[in-house]
Amino acid sequence: PFPTTMSAPIRVLVTGAAGQIGYSIVLQIAKGDVFGPNQKVTLVLLDIPAFATPLEGVKLELIDCALPTLAGVEAVTTEAEAFHDIDYAFLIGAMPRKEGMERKDLLAANVKIFKSQGLALAKYAKPSVKILVVGNPANTNALIAAKYAAGKVPLENFSAMTRLDHNRAAAQVALKVGVPVENVKNVIIWGNHSSTQFPDVAHAKVLKNGQEVDAVGAINDTAYLQGDFISTVQKRGAVIIEKRKLSSAMSAAKAAVDHIRTWHVGTKPGEFVSMAVASDGSYGIPKGLIFSFPVTIENGKWSIVQGLKIDEFAQGKINATTKELEDERTDALEACGESKQ
Ligand code: NAD
Ligand code: LMR
C-alpha cells in the first residue's frame, strides 16, 4: 500500500520527456499515480539539446498543474544533470520504429544511448536506483545499460517493459470471456518485447460469476489460445503504428506507470505480473539475458515465480524468444564495440 503521511521527495528521471510517451507519462507520475498521493516527487526531465525548448514547455505545464505531490521539476539536456542522485529512472528516450520495421531494427540507432546512460548511472546515480527501460529494443537496451553500470548499480535494479504486452493480454482475455479486465490475473509474457514474445494464459485466472476459474477453461478454445490470441498480442504494437502512424504512447505510458508502481508497492497476494529482468537461470533461460518472466514483488524486490509447468508448446515458444534475445545481445555488444561473444 501507499504511505499514509506525506514523505520527503524522491527524484524521478524521465528521459525522452519531450516525446510522445513522455508527454503522456509525466502528469501521471507527478500527481501520484505511481508513488501514491502522499509521496512527493521531484521530476527530472531529460531530452536532447535540440528539444530543450519543447521540454521547457512541458516543465511549465507541469508547474501549471499545481500539484501537491510535485516538489519540483528540472528540465535538463545533459546526463550529468539528469542522473545525479535519482531514485527511479524511466528510460524512454530513444527512436521509435516506423511501419514495416521490427523493434530490433532500432538496435544500431538506440543501443548507444543505453551504453552512455549505463555509464552515467554508474557515475552519478545512487546504487539503489531502480530502472525501467522502455526505449526499444527494450530488453537488449536494458542489458546494455546494466552492463555499463555494473559494479555500481546491481543487475537486479534493471528491468525492461513487457507490462504493456501483459496488459494487452489481460485485456484480450477479458474481452473473450466477457468480464471486466480487473477480473483477470496472472497472464504471463515470456521473453522479448518483440514479435517472438510468448503471451501465455496457462496459469491465468478469471473471476467469473463470483468464482475464480482457470482462464483456459473459461475460454475453452485451444485453437484461439494457440493462434489468434498470441498473434494479436505479439503484433499489437505494429497494428497501432499502422493505424496511428505513430507508436503507442498512451497505453505505453500507462504500462510504465503500472510497472514502477508494482515494483514500488509490491504485488497483491496470489498475483504475479510480467517484468523483463535479468535471468538467474530459471526455466533454463541463460543467465544475464533480460527476459520477461512472471514475478512477485515484496519490499521493492522482485522474485521470479518458480515451478510453473511448461508444456511442449510453451517450451517451443520460449526457445524461439530466447534465441532472438541471444542474437540481439551479440549484435548489441558488437554495436558497442565489444568483441563478439
Ligand atoms: P518519440 O520520438 O515521440 O520521443 C522520443 C524522445 O526521446 C524524443 O523527444 C527524443 O528527442 C528523445 N531522445 C532521443 N535520444 C535521447 C537521449 N539520448 N536522451 C534523452 N532523450 C532522447 O518516441 P516515443 O513514442 O515516446 O517512444 C520512445 C521509445 O519507446 C521508442 O524507442 C519506442 O519504440 C519505445 N516504446 C516501447 C514500448 C514498450 O512496451 N517497451 C512501448 C511503446 C514505445
Ligand atoms: C509497442 O509495443 O507498442 C511499442 O513497443 C512500440 C512498437 O514499436 O511496437
Instruction: Give the pLDDT confidence score for residue 340 in this predicted structure.
Output: 57
Number of the ligand 2 atom closest to the C-alpha atom of 97: 8
Number of the ligand 2 atom closest to the C-alpha atom of 138: 5
Nearest CA to ligand 1 atom 16: 93
pLDDT digits (tens, 9 = 90+) for 175-228: 999 999 999 999 999 999 999 999 999 999 999 999 999 999 999 999 999 999
| Domain covering 7-160, topology | Rossmann fold (3.40.50)
Across 269-288, b (16+ Cβ under 10 Å) vs e yields: eeebbbbbbbbeebbebeee
* Residues in the ligand 2 pocket, defined by CB under 6 Å: 96-97, 103, 136, 164, 237-238, 240, 247-248, 252
Per-residue pLDDT for 6 more than 80? no
Instruction: Give the pLDDT confidence score for residue 66 in this predicted structure.
Output: 98
Q: Tell how far the Cα of 247 is from the centroid of ligand 2, in angstroms.
A: 6
| Domain covering 163-327, topology | L-2-Hydroxyisocaproate Dehydrogenase; Chain A, domain 2 (3.90.110)
- The answer to whether domain 7-160 and domain 163-327 are alike in fold is no
Per-residue pLDDT for 167 more than 80? yes
Q: Tell how far the Cα of 93 is from the centroid of ligand 1, in angstroms.
A: 4
Which percentage of the chain shows pLDDT scores above 90?
95
Write down the ipTM of this complex: 0.99
Q: Tell how far the Cα of 91 is from the centroid of ligand 2, in angstroms.
A: 15
Looking at all shown ligands, the one closest to residue 96's CA atom is: 1
List active site positions: 193
Per-residue pLDDT for 341 more than 60? no
Nearest CA to ligand 2 atom 9: 237
Q: Tell how far the Cα of 248 is from the centroid of ligand 2, in angstroms.
A: 6
Instruction: Give the pLDDT confidence score for residue 247 in this predicted structure.
Output: 96
pLDDT digits (tens, 9 = 90+) for 98-130: 899 999 899 989 999 999 999 999 999 999 999
Number of the ligand 1 atom closest to the C-alpha atom of 247: 25
Per-residue pLDDT for 141 more than 90? yes
pLDDT digits (tens, 9 = 90+) for 57-80: 999 999 999 999 999 999 999 999
Which percentage of the chain shows pLDDT scores above 70?
99
Per-domain boundaries in the chain: 7-160, 163-327
Nearest CA to ligand 2 atom 3: 237
Cell numbers of 340, please? 563478439
Instruction: Give the pLDDT confidence score for residue 195 in this predicted structure.
Output: 97
Tell me the C-alpha to C-alpha distance, in Å, between residue 115 and each of 13, 119, 126, 154, 327: 17, 6, 18, 16, 18
Cell numbers of 174, please? 477479458
Tell me the C-alpha to C-alpha distance, in Å, between residue 135 and each of 37, 61, 165, 227, 289: 28, 24, 14, 28, 17
Nearest CA to ligand 2 atom 7: 237
